[in-house]
């Protein structure tokens, strides 16, 4: 079946491609030793055509869209989207998708994990599972296509009394089984604060966040 090519509207660019990775799209907000998450949807990495160019690219979709279509790796999809206004705040290149459609459904593979490449769970499942820090090089080498990997944009409020003072970066995390042989935590992370202070996020933070899970959960 030939992929559809939706008409661009209101500044949107058409795209079509095969999904090569699908992960949660989650934003992390930090303020020294405090952190909160915004569960925004899912990030699709595709190989195909966007704005007339053949390449790999990434698209953010919402929770409802993923629940409707149950996308997974290998599916061919199409739509129209807006280029992300501020790449510091998003892990994808395009968002605000319209005319989203499943062009062809791939036969879902059943490889031996890792990585896990089936239909990702609901965002509530990620919230319930909790995450551990994931070494950025390990993420790039072994976890890009895994549904349990996540590259989060991080917004750091340096001073809670002056909330406009912020820094931005990306961090990688794992929501997968603790027994995964590919997992590497990497170095602990530090969070800057007011007047040059720093807080180190030690191992106990991850242990506490995932204490409800067994090694293979």
The last residue of a domain, from among 104, 134, 161: 104
Residue matched to tokens 């195909």:
48
Residue where one domain finishes, among candidates 55, 73, 104: 104
Q: Are residues 139 and 197 in the same domain?
A: yes
DSSP assignment of 128-140? HH--EE--HHHII
78 and 134 part of one domain: no
Whether residue 217 is contained in a domain is answered as no
145 and 187: one domain?
Answer: yes
Same domain, 91 and 160: no
Q: Would you say residue 75 lies in a domain?
A: yes
Do 77 and 134 sit in the same domain of this protein? no
Domain extent at residue 168: 123-209
Judge whether 91 lies within some domain.
Answer: yes
- Indicate the pairing of strand 76-83 with strand 53-61: unpaired
- pLDDT band, residue 112 (cuts 50/70/90): confident
Burial 91-107 (b: 16+ CB within 10 A, else e): bbbbbbbebbeebeeee
pLDDT tens per residue across span 35-55: 999 999 999 999 999 999 999
- Show the tokens assigned to 4: 């559809």
8 Å CB contact between 77 and 6: no
How far out from the chain centre does Cα 208 lie? 22
Quick check: 10 pLDDT over 70? Answer: no
Which residue in the block uniquely carries the two structure tokens 């890009």?
Answer: 144
Reported as a single tens digit per residue, the pLDDT across 46-96 is: 999 999 999 999 999 999 999 999 999 999 999 999 999 999 999 999 999
Does residue 3 fall inside a structural domain?
Answer: no
How much is the pLDDT for 111?
Answer: 76
Same domain, 100 and 128: no
Q: What is the mean pLDDT of the chain?
A: 94
pLDDT for 11: 79
**Predicted confidence (pLDDT) per residue in 101-110, tens digit:** 999 999 866 6
Residue 77 and residue 139 share a domain: no
Residue 187 lies in a domain: yes
E strands of the chain, at which residues? Answer: 13-31, 34-50, 53-61, 76-83, 94-104, 132-133, 149-157, 166-174, 189-192, 198-201
Res 126 pLDDT > 90: yes
Residues 61, 66, 68, 74, Cα dihedral to 10° = 110
Q: What is the pLDDT of residues 157-216, one digit of tens each?
A: 999 889 899 999 999 999 999 999 999 999 999 999 998 999 999 999 999 999 999 999
Together in a domain, 58 and 135: no
Cα→Cα distances 149→8, 42, 72, 133, Å: 31, 12, 14, 10
Task: Please report, for the domain that includes residue 22, its CATH number.
Answer: 2.40.50.140
Q: Are residues 132 and 98 in the same domain?
A: no
Number of domains the chain is built from: 2
Same-domain check for residues 88 and 158: no
Cα–Cα separations (whole angstroms), residue 192 to 26, 198, 199: 21, 4, 7
Cα-Cα-Cα-Cα torsion 136, 140, 142, 144, nearest 10 degrees, comes to: 110
If asked whether residues 18 and 59 sit together in one domain, one would say: yes
């Amino acid at each position: 079946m030939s992929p559809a090519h939706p008409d661009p509207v209101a500044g949107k660019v058409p795209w079509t491609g095969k999904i090569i990775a699908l992960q949660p799209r989650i934003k992390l907000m930090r303020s020294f030793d405090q952190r909160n998450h915004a569960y925004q949807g899912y990030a699709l990495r595709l190989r195909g055509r966007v704005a007339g160019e053949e390449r790999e690219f990434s698209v953010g979709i919402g929770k409802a869209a993923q629940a409707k279509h149950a996308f997974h790796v290998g599916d061919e999809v199409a739509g129209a989207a807006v280029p992300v206004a501020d790449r510091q705040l998003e892990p994808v290149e395009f968002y605000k998708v319209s005319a989203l459609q499943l062009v062809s459904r791939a036969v879902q593979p059943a490889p031996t994990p890792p990585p896990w490449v089936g239909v990702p769970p609901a965002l509530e499942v990620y919230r319930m599972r909790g995450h551990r820090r994931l070494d950025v090089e390990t993420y790039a080498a072994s976890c890009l296509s895994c549904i349990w990997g996540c590259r989060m944009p991080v917004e750091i409020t340096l001073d809670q009394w002056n909330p406009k003072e912020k820094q931005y970066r990306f961090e990688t995390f794992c929501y997968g089984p603790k027994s995964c042989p590919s997992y590497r935590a990497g170095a602990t992370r530090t969070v800057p604060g007011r007047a040059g202070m720093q807080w180190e996020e030690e191992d106990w933070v991850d242990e506490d966040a995932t204490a409800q899970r067994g090694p293979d959960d």
